[in-house]
Amino acid sequence: MRAVAEREGWAPFDVALDTVGTAHSERGALALLRKGVGRYVTLHGQLAGLVGERGVLVGGAAAALELARKKMLHRMSDDVGYHWAVMRQDADAMAEIGEAPHARFPPFDRTPYGHFNGEKARYLQRQCGHLT
């Protein structure tokens, strides 16, 4: 994915916002970040799941430890920052992020949907307005 991004002039990025939350999307986004200053932000951190499974106190502590582990791992191995974000689904807010003055985004029609097969890929493309 990095080779395609560099050939197309997309990479490297300062920030990657992962709204998918799979291991594949995390690896792909981390590979596209600028070393030393890049920041990876996922909307699929484990906070909600761990709090739901183990309760506020134990789940919150487990989530804090997992976040600290991932921050250290990605700073040492990839030389990028790692962050979790929690937000409600808001199409208007995502559109506002996309219209930020200095934001650069790869065009969705050329973004690979490779880790989604068949109907899931078509659904995602329809949601992004690329299939009618």
CATH code for the domain in which residue 93 is found: 3.40.50.720
Tell me what pLDDT residue 24 has.
83
Residue 127 lies in a domain: no
Q: What is the Cα–Cα distance from 68 to 6, expressed in whole angstroms?
A: 30
Among candidates 49, 81, 46, 48, which has minimal Cα distance to 66? 46
CA 31/CA 13 separation, integer angstroms: 10
Please check whether residue 131 lies inside any domain of the structure.
no
Burial of 40 (0-12, 13-18, 19+ CB in 10 A): buried
Q: How many structural domains compose the chain?
A: 1
Cis peptide before 12 (omega within 30 of 0): yes
Its domain, for residue 86, covers 2-107
**What is residue 112's predicted lDDT score, i.e. its pLDDT?**
46
List the chain pLDDT tens, one digit each, 132 residues. 667 777 777 778 888 888 777 888 888 888 888 899 899 988 877 888 888 899 999 999 999 999 999 999 999 999 999 988 877 667 777 777 767 766 665 544 444 444 444 555 556 556 555 544
The confidence score (pLDDT) of residue 46 equals: 83
